[in-house]
């Protein structure tokens, strides 16, 4: 049954952000994979084919925007929706958002509940949600 639950790939260079999102999303019934930067995440996205990727904008090696553009240029990952986390007050032009295929942008600090709501909208609810047991 584990394979029926949507997989979410969380990409952020801050370990505590990856940890919080892993705990929150796992608790909601999602499978979660993590990566510390865009370079690592490209390999994971190709291998794991997540239902959704949540990425930070500002990361080492490549920005979140560069990461999204790399996803779009690869036929194996071009279809994967992306949610981007940014610093408060930071914005991208609508052209860049569209070109990078970003489905949703949220500012840090974020509400974990808001992240879950957006994940449900984009990736769908898990077939075996933990809420069904509680």
Domains of the chain, residue spans = 2-125
User: Could you tell me which residues are beta bridge partners of residue 87?
Assistant: 108
Both tokens assigned to 59: 């990361």
Q: What is the pTM of this model?
A: 0.86
- Computed over its alpha carbons, how large is the radius of gyration of the chain? 14
Distance CA 30, CA 11 (A): 16
pLDDT at residue 99 is higher than 90: no
Interval 4-57: pLDDT, tens: 789 999 999 999 999 999 999 999 999 999 999 999 999 999 999 999 999 998
82-87, strands of its sheet edge to edge: 31-35, 7-11, 52-56, 82-87, 102-108
Between residues 70 and 110, the one the model is more confident about: 70
Distance of CA 69 to the CA centre of its chain: 14
Residues in the chain: 134
- Per-residue pLDDT, 92: 72
pLDDT surpasses 80 at 133:
no
Q: Compute the average pLDDT of residues 105-133.
A: 76
Q: Which CATH superfamily is domain 2-125 in?
A: Response regulator (3.40.50.2300)
């Amino acid at each position: 049954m584990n394979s029926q639950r949507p997989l979410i790939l969380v990409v952020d260079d801050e370990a505590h952000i990856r940890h919080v999102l892993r705990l929150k999303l796992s608790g909601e019934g999602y499978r979660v994979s993590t990566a510390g930067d865009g370079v690592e995440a490209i390999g994971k996205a190709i291998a794991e084919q997540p239902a959704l990727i949540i990425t930070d904008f500002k990361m080492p090696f490549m920005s979140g925007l560069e990461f999204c553009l790399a996803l779009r240029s690869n036929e194996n990952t071009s279809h994967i929706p992306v949610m981007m986390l940014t610093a408060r007050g930071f914005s991208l032009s609508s052209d860049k958002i569209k070109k990078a295929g970003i489905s949703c942008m949220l500012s840090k600090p974020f509400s974990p509940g808001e992240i879950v709501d957006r994940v449900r909208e984009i990736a769908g609810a898990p077939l075996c949600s933990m809420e069904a047991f509680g």
